[in-house]
A = this chain, B = another copy of it.
Amino acid sequence: MSSAPDVSDQRMPHRGSTRDRILVAYEDLLIESGERGATLDAVAARAGVSKGGLLYHFGSKDGLAGGFLKRLRDLAEVDVSVMRSAPAGVVDYFIRTSVNAGTELDRALIAAARLAQTSDPRASEILAAIRTLWLDVVIEAVGDPVAARAILLISDGLYYNSALMGMGAPDPADVSDEGLQKLIDMVERLSTIAHGDPDAG
């Protein structure tokens, strides 16, 4: 085995580092061409490093996926804390950020979903853990757990459409500003009726 500096890296090299460029290239390729397209050669070429250089930082393809997944977790934790103190409210922030806007987190989430589909259990686990984080915040914000769940599902649906499905067909779900606002209005009323009308079935 070679002595790679990676393992469970304590140090954070500055942003534009080769390591970061490799991670971004991996992410890009995952999004654009799926897991099949994200070969070591392709990632290295995209990142502008040699294959050897890539493997210097991440000892294996699995290590590369691990490094990427760690980055996702970090990004998600930051996002959740931003969401908690969003000026327009948690629900507004949450729904709005459920459509792919090309943020770093969006990209990482999409890439992770690709990985999860190819039966990388770590990707599924992290994705599920992030969802749990979200659910907690939304329950806290809207009170009613059924409404919170519906909101999370709408978010999932939005995400699924705009991020996962969106590249093959035009506009599977309306994701315009106006469409989103209407949806947010409805969703916010949803948490109201949940309280106002406890039995209706």
Please give the residue numbers on chain A whose beta carbons come within 8 Å of chain B beta carbons, in ascending order. 32-37, 113-114, 116-119, 121, 123-125, 127-129, 131, 146-147, 149-150, 152-161, 164-165, 167-169, 172-174, 179, 181-183, 185-187, 189-190, 193-194, 197, 200-201
A174 CB contacts on chain B under 8 angstroms: 149
Nearest neighbor of A122 in chain B, beta-carbon distance = B168
A194 CB contacts on chain B under 8 angstroms: 186
Q: In the docked arrangement, what's the CA distance between A173 and B183, Å?
A: 21
**In contact, B167 and A160 (Cβ under 8 angstroms):** no
A165 CB contacts on chain B under 8 angstroms: 116, 124, 127-128
- A116-B168, A149-B183, A153-B153 known; 10 new pairs, CB 8 Å cut-off, are A116-B164, A117-B164, A119-B167, A123-B168, A149-B173, A149-B179, A152-B157, A156-B161, A185-B201, A190-B193
Q: In the docked arrangement, what's the CA distance between A116 and B34, Å?
A: 9
Nearest neighbor of A95 in chain B, beta-carbon distance = B153
Q: In the docked arrangement, what's the CA distance between A193 and B185, Å?
A: 11
Partner of A150, one of B35, B116, B118, B187: B187
Partner of A160, one of B160, B172, B181: B160
Q: In the docked arrangement, what's the CA distance between A195 and B104, Å?
A: 38
Partner of A125, one of B168, B187, B201: B168
> How near does chain B come to A164, taking the closest CB pair, in angstroms?
7
A149 CB contacts on chain B under 8 angstroms: 173-174, 179, 183
**In contact, A127 and B168 (Cβ under 8 angstroms):** yes
Q: In the docked arrangement, what's the CA distance between A92 and B195, Å?
A: 21
Given A127-B165, A161-B156, A168-B121, check contact A146 B201 (CB 8 Å). no
> How near does chain B come to A127, taking the closest CB pair, in angstroms?
6
Q: In the docked arrangement, what's the CA distance between A130 and B131, Å?
A: 27
Nearest neighbor of A123 in chain B, beta-carbon distance = B168
**In contact, A36 and B35 (Cβ under 8 angstroms):** yes
Given A125-B169, A165-B127, check contact A156 B160 (CB 8 Å). yes
